[in-house]
Amino acid sequence: MRILTDCPERLPGLVPERSGWSCPGISSLCGAEQVLWHALSSGGTLWTGTAAESAPPGFWPRAFILAEAPESQFDVLQELARGDLKLTGPVACLALHGRNFHGQRGRSWSSAPGNLHLSVLFSPADFSVRRSLGLTMLPAVAVAEAVWRLSGGRLKPGIKWVNDILVEGRKIAGVITATQVLREKITRVTLGIGLNVAHTPEVSPTVFVPSVGSLHTWDLDVALVDVFLAVLEQLGKFYAVLEHVGADEIFGAYKELSLVIGREVCIWEESEGVRDQNTPSSGPLVRGVVRELAPDLSLRLEGVAEPVSRGRLAFAESVDASHVRG
């Protein structure tokens, strides 16, 4: 995997000392890589190097690692995906710090040095729109698997519907997916992943996110580069599963990681909780115990006739606790 960066001094061990970093100049890049560099970077000097053998082999031809992202790399990749970007193979983009990062529906995501702010872009060869749900599940499953492996099985991440990753009730990561479709085929996929590694951001508690954490919360002392490589490895693994097997196996993993099955939940409109607030502005649309998670990710709630396929979920105990505090 080729690394393109403006901060090689902040990436110890990523490139072997025997091969080292080079400073070839932007003109040495192919056309698509030049476009990406100019769009993603803040104008720093380009350094390149080949990642160590610990990097995921084969799947990732390149990764851009920038010290400072002037805006959301997820948004930048989405915009480039809408154009005529001729890119061979997937691309991974890591920002060590940045501004205007966000999660689902534009909800702000607090960035901090030492945490993972990762965006990736795929150009599937032959993905029908039926695989879109698999792409929604893919980053959450990959992050949970990576955290479990990095901790040697000590941490057991789970998924709070639809795209939050929790450990012991604390949110440590969130993921988002965007697809571009042309004539019933998915032509571009952009994934965004925020994972708290070294720092737990200061976030006002809400019923949707009552508590946050980081890998450091559980004294998991792991370098950001190692987390980056571990997440890339799992993304490549599950992308290959989706490509060659289909979404069923990914759904099986997602369901096994689900934290909502058997729990009482409250579900609001997706627009709730965009602003910092302890309680939503109105009552939930539905409340009940989740009895089933369907392959289309809809929820079957006890006492609710229709399946729930969209909305913002909170665990009932968090909602009830907020009313007591209020």
Cβ-count burial of 136 within 10 angstroms (0-12 exposed, 13-18 middle, 19+ buried)?
Answer: buried
User: Is the distance from CB of 195 to CB of 216 less than 8 angstroms?
Assistant: no
Residue-level pLDDT at 112: 87
Residue-level pLDDT at 14: 92
The answer on pLDDT for 168 being more than 70 is yes
User: Is the distance from CB of 142 to CB of 237 less than 8 angstroms?
Assistant: yes
For residues 36-45, average pLDDT = 92
**Residue 102 confidence class, pLDDT cut points 50, 70, 90:** confident
Residue-level pLDDT at 276: 47
Pairing relationship of beta strands 91-95 and 62-66 according to DSSP bridges: parallel
Helix (H, G, I), strand (E, B) or coil at 227: helix
**Residue 325 confidence class, pLDDT cut points 50, 70, 90:** low
**Structural domains in the chain?**
2-257 (3.30.930.10), 264-325 (no CATH)
Q: How far is CA 274 from CA 102, 177, 270, in A?
A: 11, 18, 9
For residues 151-177, average pLDDT = 97
Residue-level pLDDT at 255: 98
The answer on pLDDT for 296 being more than 50 is yes
Say which amino acid occupies 113.
Answer: P
Peptide bond preceding 260 in cis form (omega within 30 of 0): no
251: nearest Cα among 162, 123, 171: 162
HSE value, Cβ hemisphere, 13 Å, CA-based, for 113: 5
**Residue 273 confidence class, pLDDT cut points 50, 70, 90:** low
Element (H, E) at 139: helix 132-150
User: Is the distance from CB of 56 to CB of 146 less than 8 angstroms?
Assistant: no
Residue-level pLDDT at 57: 64
